Structure 1
Amino acid sequence: MNLPRLSVRRPIFTTMVALILIVLGGVSLSRIQIDLLPSIELPTASVRTEYEGASPEVIERLITQIIEEIVATVPGVEEITSTSEEGRSNVEVTFVWGTDLDAAAIDLRATIEDEISELPDDIVRPRISKFSINSFPVVLIGVSSPLDPVELTQLIEDRIRHRFTQIPGVAQVDFWGGFPREVRVELYPEKINALGLSLNEILSTLRDANLDLPAGQIQEGRYEVTLRAPAQFESVEQIRDTVLTVRGGAAVKVGDVADVRDTYEKLTRMIRVNGERGVRIAIRKQSAANTVEVSRQILEEIERINEEFPQIHVVPVINQGNFIERSIENVARSVLYGGGLAVLILLFFLRNIRSTLVIAVSIPISIIATFSLVYFGGLTINLMTLGGLALGVGMMVDSSIVVLENIFRQRDELKKNRVDAAAEGAWEVAPAIVASTITTLVIFLPIVFVQGVFGAIIP
């Protein structure tokens, strides 16, 4: 079939096909997700185990070495690296590229569960987490306020945090640098020694006095009542008045041998927002969610929170959506500038407005039509796909110049009419253009065999 002749002889049909491609590409463009790079899932998982109070040497001997021996038996493991620090062991497991990480994590978890008896009994059970680029926070938020730190932490936990979790596409909201409430009992050593009290005795007394246990059931006729014995501390005064023992006929209370204070946990990190003490909230998105859209909704929610809670000030510290938008806009602007300069250069050399307009119109039509292939191919608009579009624009301009030159030759030298010149001129150079395009594709063919991260980035 002579496609150039068919296009020239059937102009209405050709116009309708072009409009269909434009509409299909435009609709696809409105539904394509925007991201910085293609979705990448590195075949890496980590096994984290906590053992409170243990030194790095003990962690290495009792936990890290044993976990390394256990995970080495999992199929597909390529590399194991570990870190032992005070109270914590972290083992990084790298699988062979191409391994299904979900299935590998299940095998890893099952293998560790089968051999869990080899680890100390009082450890925190090992936690297995997969590494993914999508696990990095989309938006990092800073919150500052003149409120009491404990009150600020409670306000965020009770009324702010859940508002971000309800945003579509948000997977997790982590709270860093807070001031969790803590009732601290600081003992006086000299008084404890004078009364002959032991630490275990004090701990067991406080533990037994702070209970909330079920007390069975009572059946009365056709009714069944479930009983509960609430005996938890409700105030600091109740803790101070708790009787520890009796000495010389007098009750010894907690307040007699200790200072009971309502405060917050010991700080391990200090966060400041605009020079004021504050907290930080990290928001992670779901793997299938659009980073830019999720970030935009988070920023809108931040504005509403600042209006509804004037006693706090919420600001976005890091916003991946804004960075991605600016990066994509810069690349897209470069593509537009390149296409515009190509049209101007063509106009300068061809000195024919009608011929230049043909190429100028074909560039956006081809780009818009390509968006439908991007959408149905499951790709996103990222730096790689836009770079490919820029390369395609350059190749299309080159091919268009060859076709136009041959059409002019058919019309001016061979004295053919416009219809025959357009059809035969395009058909005559079609094999040469196809061969030229294939040579360009052959250059990129070895990329298909590239493995690892680069092979995943360059589809």
Structure 2
Amino acid sequence: MKLPEFSVRHPIFATMVTLMVLVLGLTSMSRLRTDLLPEIATTTLSLRAEYTGASPEVVERLITQFVEEIAASVPGVEEISSVSSEGSSVVTVNFGWGADVNSAAIDMQGALESNLRKLPDDVRPRIFKFDINQFPVVILGIASDLDPVELTSLMNEEIQVRFARVPGVAQVDIFGGYDREVRIELNPERVKALGLSLDRVLQAVANANLDLPAGRIEQGRYEVTLRAPAQFTNLDDIRNTVIEQRDGAPVTIGQVADVLDTYQDLRRLVRINHSRGIRVGIRKQPDANTVEVTQGIFAEIERVNRDYPQVKVIPVIDQGNFIERSIDNVTLSVLYGGGLAVLVLLFFLRNIRSTVVIALAIPISVIATFALIYFGGFTLNLMTLGGLALGVGMMVDGSVVVLENIFRRQDEEKESPFDAAIAGTNEVSAAIVASTLTTLVIFLPLAFVQGVAGVLFKELACVVVFSLVCALLVSLSLVPMLASRLLVS
């Protein structure tokens, strides 16, 4: 028994299967992650090294050339480029598409570790893997009338923690803050007069700012752990630190230096609404839903603005809102396309019941496609929705052919809707399958495209295939079943 005949003779079973598919599709749609584009696995590594005070020529000769030689020894490297600037070296290594970048990074790290002696002292190249998830999904501006140091302290100790607790947030980065710094400014004349060396002063400060374990005391069933805390708690502790003894009198830090409670030198300045402020970048976890994460962040922004009236948290960049607007635009295109297709069918068929039969094929095929998108491991993004929009117009082709042939057999052969639905669908089923396959073949080459373009268009092509396969099954099962019940003899 062929599929059209089985569906027509067992309408309850066909209806139940359709409802199951709809439930599965709607459940899958609610669980799909929403992103702007498909996940792109890059094949680029970046090696960065700092050599403070060195000129670009020295950096290139002592660091960049060495790192390039190490990178070239790793299998799979296709291209190496570098930039040597004052005090900094950046070497970018590109691998072939599909290469295991994580394994290459381990090999490169091992080669660097075994040859570190060839680099200047304290120079340690670091390896970075380019990841689109490193870009913040939300950037916030923090404005306040508080003292800059106090505002930075509030951000580091309280507000940053609140944003980090939002589900899906991986890291919260603060830029432009005034980090507290206790500075010891030596007086060269006093140091020279007392015959002190800089190393001796540094050693005295380091030795005085310790928190050391002092062992354990056991007595019967009890055990007490001892510590010898000697960390600085205020500026006077630093000023009273003894450097050495001279003629029985101590020489302290306060005698040869000024101890200041200040903040670190600013290397970047952030302004929010023409006033100094702080920028906060929030990054999401790789498997988190961007839209859900941003919604959680904005809910936390409202709570922070309510709990801390002395600060104002202002959204600067919201990737989630951009994704939502982009997805909404494509979704509207899908709805407009489906609606116009139904109106065109109504105009030519001039029959409400026939139009309803075909119109039902569109949403059922679309919802079933979401199930295949979910189980295919894709996300809801511009490419998958673009494929869905592309497939909507072709979803009704098979259903129109089936319904038209059922009409023809009713008109010419004088068959009942029941018999016409079975015979008419069987008559054109081979042609519909062949037509669908020829359409699917067009998208087959996209599966072999390499690089970023391949990642992007692969999902679009797969969704078109999913939608057309679902539409084919609907046209050969649900359409004849509905036609046998809804069409008038």
TM-score normalised by the chain length of structure 2: 0.86
Counterpart-to-counterpart distance in 1, 2:225 and 2:61: 49
Partner in structure 2 of residue 24 of structure 1: 24
* Cα distance change of structure 1 residues 13 and 222 upon mapping to structure 2, 3 Å threshold: closer
1:344-394 deviations in Å (ceiling 9; x for gaps): 111112111111111111110111111111111111111111111122211
SS at match of 2:409: helix
* Cα distance change of structure 1 residues 76 and 354 upon mapping to structure 2, 3 Å threshold: same
Q: For 1:301-450, list aligned pairs within 5 A.
A: 301-450=300-449
- The letter of the residue matching 1:66 is F
Counterpart-to-counterpart distance in 2, 1:396 and 1:224: 77
How far the C-alpha of 1:51 sits from its partner, in A, is 2.6
1:250-277 deviations in Å (ceiling 9; x for gaps): 8765445544321100000011222221
Partner in structure 1 of residue 55 of structure 2: 55
How far the C-alpha of 1:10 sits from its partner, in A, is 2.0
Partner in structure 1 of residue 230 of structure 2: 231
1:404-454 deviations in Å (ceiling 9; x for gaps): 222222221232222222222222222222222222222222111110001
Counterpart-to-counterpart distance in 1, 2:25 and 2:371: 5
Counterpart-to-counterpart distance in 2, 1:136 and 1:197: 49
* Cα distance change of structure 1 residues 120 and 216 upon mapping to structure 2, 3 Å threshold: farther
Tell whether 2:123 aligns with 1:112: no
- The letter of the residue matching 2:68 is E
- The letter of the residue matching 1:28 is S
Tell whether 2:72 aligns with 1:78: no
Percent identity between the two aligned chains? 64
1:283-325 deviations in Å (ceiling 9; x for gaps): 2112111111111111112222222222222222212111111
Partner in structure 1 of residue 10 of structure 2: 10
Counterpart-to-counterpart distance in 2, 1:384 and 1:431: 31
1:214-246 deviations in Å (ceiling 9; x for gaps): 455667788765554433332223434445578
* Cα distance change of structure 1 residues 252 and 457 upon mapping to structure 2, 3 Å threshold: same
Counterpart-to-counterpart distance in 1, 2:217 and 2:58: 51
Which is further off, 76-85 or 323-332? 76-85
SS at match of 1:458: helix
1:144-195 deviations in Å (ceiling 9; x for gaps): 2211111111111111222222223222222211111112233445555566
What is the alpha-carbon root mean square deviation over aligned residues? 2.5
- The letter of the residue matching 1:107 is D
Counterpart-to-counterpart distance in 2, 1:360 and 1:271: 55
Counterpart-to-counterpart distance in 2, 1:31 and 1:209: 57
The answer on whether the counterparts of 2:77 and 2:93 sit within 8 Å (CA) in structure 1 is yes
TM-score normalised by the chain length of structure 1: 0.92
SS at match of 1:420: helix
- The letter of the residue matching 1:82 is S
Q: For 1:247-258, list aligned pairs within 5 A.
A: 254-258=253-257
Counterpart-to-counterpart distance in 1, 2:201 and 2:2: 95
* Cα distance change of structure 1 residues 205 and 274 upon mapping to structure 2, 3 Å threshold: same
Partner in structure 2 of residue 299 of structure 1: 298
Tell whether 2:126 aligns with 1:131: no
Counterpart-to-counterpart distance in 2, 1:344 and 1:379: 32
Partner in structure 2 of residue 90 of structure 1: 90
* Cα distance change of structure 1 residues 388 and 256 upon mapping to structure 2, 3 Å threshold: same
How far the C-alpha of 1:48 sits from its partner, in A, is 2.0
* Cα distance change of structure 1 residues 221 and 26 upon mapping to structure 2, 3 Å threshold: closer
Counterpart-to-counterpart distance in 1, 2:341 and 2:354: 13
SS at match of 1:28: helix
The answer on whether the counterparts of 2:144 and 2:151 sit within 8 Å (CA) in structure 1 is yes
- The letter of the residue matching 1:421 is A
- The letter of the residue matching 1:3 is L
Partner in structure 2 of residue 277 of structure 1: 276
- The letter of the residue matching 1:324 is I
- The letter of the residue matching 1:296 is Q
Counterpart-to-counterpart distance in 1, 2:26 and 2:213: 63
* Count of residues in correspondence between the two structures: 458
* Cα distance change of structure 1 residues 362 and 247 upon mapping to structure 2, 3 Å threshold: same
How far the C-alpha of 1:30 sits from its partner, in A, is 1.4
SS at match of 2:125: strand
- The letter of the residue matching 1:148 is D
Counterpart-to-counterpart distance in 2, 1:9 and 1:443: 35
SS at match of 1:317: strand
Partner in structure 2 of residue 44 of structure 1: 44
Counterpart-to-counterpart distance in 2, 1:421 and 1:224: 92
Partner in structure 1 of residue 285 of structure 2: 286
How far the C-alpha of 1:83 sits from its partner, in A, is 2.0
- The letter of the residue matching 2:144 is S
* Cα distance change of structure 1 residues 236 and 342 upon mapping to structure 2, 3 Å threshold: same
Counterpart-to-counterpart distance in 2, 1:21 and 1:274: 52
The answer on whether the counterparts of 2:361 and 2:396 sit within 8 Å (CA) in structure 1 is no
How far the C-alpha of 1:50 sits from its partner, in A, is 2.3
Counterpart-to-counterpart distance in 2, 1:252 and 1:179: 33
* Cα distance change of structure 1 residues 180 and 422 upon mapping to structure 2, 3 Å threshold: same
Counterpart-to-counterpart distance in 1, 2:244 and 2:15: 96
Partner in structure 2 of residue 151 of structure 1: 150
Partner in structure 2 of residue 35 of structure 1: 35
Counterpart-to-counterpart distance in 1, 2:437 and 2:67: 52
How far the C-alpha of 1:87 sits from its partner, in A, is 2.7
Which is further off, 161-170 or 444-453? 161-170
Counterpart-to-counterpart distance in 1, 2:23 and 2:212: 66
* Cα distance change of structure 1 residues 224 and 118 upon mapping to structure 2, 3 Å threshold: farther
* Cα distance change of structure 1 residues 25 and 218 upon mapping to structure 2, 3 Å threshold: closer
Which is further off, 419-428 or 192-201? 192-201
Task: Give 5+ residue unaligned stretches, structure 1.
Answer: none
Which is further off, 9-18 or 231-240? 231-240
